[in-house]
């Protein structure tokens, strides 16, 4: 079963040291990730790097430690600083959107224990699985330990920190690219927060250059859902207070007018997820959620996706914030292997 796990990269120390250790341990995969970015975007590496470097001042303003970690990554992996920056601004440097994804956060009356469960299926082109890792960071400067699923060389993605703060994301479309901060640094900064409210405050402070939805929970049983656009953010309140479900179309009144249903399977996936949650309400456990993430209704664009618009459910996550447990699946929901990690 070990061969079915994503590689685990563990780093500690100051920001530069963590970045260097990441680069040294995952050097081959970092180079593979850069080659995949080239193939995915169809753009020349030098053009991508030039585009990515435009975001460095915004990254530096948001978190000097994040940029120090990028410098360490470059030195450890034997790549140029510009290439290490590209790993943090892949979508922004090429103006490409990614992914499907079905995300949830449930707490209180929804779950069998009353504790929070949050997570998602990660729907991307299958090649992403070949460069994916789990990254455990243990900073020595007071920032919390965190475990995240990400790609070799990318310093921020979905995960959980030692305070139980956990976040997941859904791509949102129908948004022109504008100047702003890339999403990946913000994903990392969310894993330095203590509460859902602090995550919301972070997203309020920084304007992004594209749209996305964020599902967030913390170790105190709070959950939230935030639709993010360059104009600002909008909080989504679901039909029940103990539930937040989201796929890839706008649900808030503030942003619903932007929706053109450019990803046609998004609404059916959300409807199916709502049906499954409603039927199991009050009895939902980690194992129940694993079956939901393996659901095939609507194939090939079901909750467990098998290639609709080239998207596959390459991984899945279920977080237990109060218990500081993070469950990670490699592969499709119906076929993949789950592992459990303590944070």
> 47 Cβ partners below 8 Å, 6+ apart?
none
Q: How far apart are CA 111 and CA 56, in angstroms?
A: 42
Domain-by-domain residue ranges, the chain?
Answer: 97-342
Q: Report the distance separating Cα 176 and Cα 165, nearest Å.
A: 30
Q: Provide the whole-model pTM.
A: 0.96
- Whole-number pLDDT of residue 96: 79
pLDDT digits (tens, 9 = 90+) for 7-47: 999 999 999 999 999 999 999 999 999 999 999 999 999 99
pLDDT in tens, 137-190: 999 999 999 999 999 999 999 999 999 999 999 999 999 888 899 999 999 999
Beta bridge pairs of residue 223: 217
What is the rounded CA–CA span in Å between residue 83 and residue 89?
10
188-to-88, 193, 313 alpha-carbon distances in Å: 10, 10, 22
Chain position carrying tokens 């709070």:
222
**For residues 86-94, average pLDDT:** 92
Rounded to 5°, angle at Cα 271 from 291 and 254? 125
**CATH (residue range 97-342):** 3.60.60.10
CB-count burial class (<10 Å; 0-12, 13-18, 19+) for 166: buried
DSSP helix/strand/coil, 54: coil
């Amino acid at each position: 079963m070990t061969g079915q796990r994503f590689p685990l990269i563990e780093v500690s120390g100051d920001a530069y040291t963590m970045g260097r250790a990441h680069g040294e341990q995952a050097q081959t995969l970092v180079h593979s990730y850069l080659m995949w970015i080239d193939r995915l975007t169809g753009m020349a590496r030098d053009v991508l790097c030039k585009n990515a470097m435009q975001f460095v001042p915004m990254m530096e303003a948001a978190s000097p430690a994040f940029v120090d970690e990028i410098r360490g990554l470059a030195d450890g992996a034997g790549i140029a600083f510009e290439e290490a920056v590209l790993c943090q601004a892949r979508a922004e440097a090429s103006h490409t959107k990614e992914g499907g994804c079905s995300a949830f956060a449930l707490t209180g009356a929804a779950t069998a224990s009353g504790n929070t469960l949050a997570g998602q299926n990660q729907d991307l082109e299958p090649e992403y699985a070949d460069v994916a890792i789990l990254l455990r960071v243990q900073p020595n400067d007071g920032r919390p330990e965190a475990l995240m699923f990400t790609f070799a060389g990318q310093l921020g993605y979905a995960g959980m920190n030692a305070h139980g703060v956990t976040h997941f994301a859904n791509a949102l479309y129908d948004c022109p690219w504008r100047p702003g901060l890339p999403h990946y640094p913000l994903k990392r900064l969310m894993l330095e927060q203590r509460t859902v409210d602090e995550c919301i405050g972070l997203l309020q402070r920084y304007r992004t250059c594209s749209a996305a939805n964020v599902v967030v929970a913390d170790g105190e049983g709070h959950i939230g859902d935030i639709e993010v656009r360059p104009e600002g953010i909008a909080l989504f309140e679901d039909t029940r207070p103990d539930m937040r479900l989201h796929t890839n179309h706008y649900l808030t009144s503030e942003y619903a007018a932007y929706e053109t249903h450019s990803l046609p399977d998004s609404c059916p996936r959300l409807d199916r997820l709502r049906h499954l949650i409603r039927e199991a309400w009050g009895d939902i456990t980690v194992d129940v959620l694993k079956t939901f993430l393996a659901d095939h209704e609507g194939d090939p664009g079901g909750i467990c996706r098998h290639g609709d618009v080239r998207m596959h459910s390459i991984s899945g996550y279920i977080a237990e914030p109060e218990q500081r447990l993070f469950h990670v699946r490699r592969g499709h929901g119906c076929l993949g292997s789950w592992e459990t990690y303590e944070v």
